[in-house]
Amino acid sequence: MPLHRTESDASTSDRDRAAGQQRQRVLTLLREAGTPLDAQRVAATLGIHVTTARFHLGALEDRGLVRRRSGDRRAKGAGRPRVTYEMVPRLDYADIVALFARHLGGSAGEREERSLRIGADLAHRVHLPRLGPGSSVVDLVLATLDALGFQVSSVLTSFGEVMIEICTCPLAEIGATAPEVVRGIQQGLIQEVIDINADALGRSYQAQVTPDPRGGACQVSLTVTPVRTPVARERR
């Protein structure tokens, strides 16, 4: 029997999703601007309140995605220095995945299958959490998603099955044009992390990922289900 969200849960999830989409718009604007922008410029361009713009810029700065710069004072001898924000220059795995998705070729199914293998290999190449005995699969998956820069909007558990909704992810823009590649990498990576920690978890789990590329927000639904061991039939 599945868990049902309350009206309060649904409204909270909707707010988190909207915030994730708006934050992604701020990030995209800074990436495409090619020059540092202040909160007033971000607010005016996106049609949001300047306080909201500052909130999202601060959150992006905390995640290490943007950095602030202090310029000259607006008027000589008076006022605070103008604070602007710009993207932190780096080549991260989102850039690599974007190139990979562009040149991979083959059918959508073939691209997803190859992406599963790449995601599994990635789990051994990045520093992901490995939890000790007593940790749950929820602890493991949430720690992994946090380490990779995902933002979780809700977690529901029902009879051992865990449903996690993610409102923002580092592969948002790629998910809009190549959802099968994003799905494959995310699922392969999460599944491999779960398998690596199977002994500590005490049982096996199967991960399923469904990216939602609407608006490039990369709203992701991740379901983790216990693998049920078949019961051998008694011979008569």
Distance CA 210, CA 223 (A): 9
| Residues paired with 66 in a beta bridge | 87
Q: What pLDDT does 84 receive?
A: 94
Which CATH number is 7-87 given? 1.10.10.10
Q: What pLDDT does 144 receive?
A: 85
Nearest-CA neighbor of 1 among 153, 222, 137, 160?
A: 160
Q: What pLDDT does 191 receive?
A: 92
Distance CA 138, CA 171 (A): 22
Domain 93-226 class, CATH top level? alpha beta
- Full DSSP string of 76-136: TTEEEEEEEEEEPP---HHHHHHHHHHH--S-HHHHHHHHHHHHHHHTTTS------TT--
* pLDDT tens digits in sequence order for the chain, 236 residues long: 344 444 455 555 566 667 778 888 898 899 888 789 999 999 999 999 999 999 999 988 887 888 888 765 554 555 567 899 998 876 566 677 777 777 778 888 888 898 899 889 988 887 777 776 678 888 888 888 887 777 788 888 887 788 888 776 777 667 767 888 888 888 898 999 989 888 888 888 998 887 655 544 556 688 889 887 654 444 44
Q: What pLDDT does 55 receive?
A: 93
Q: In which element (H, E) is residue 34 found?
A: none
The ranges assigned to domains in the chain are: 7-87, 93-226
Task: Evaluate whether 3 touches 159 at the Cβ level (below 8 Å).
Answer: no
Pairing between β-strand 219-226 and β-strand 161-168 as defined by DSSP bridges: antiparallel
Nearest-CA neighbor of 10 among 18, 2, 22?
A: 18
Task: Evaluate whether 185 touches 118 at the Cβ level (below 8 Å).
Answer: yes
C-alpha distances out from residue 37 to 56, 68, 86, 88, 189, Å: 13, 9, 7, 13, 35
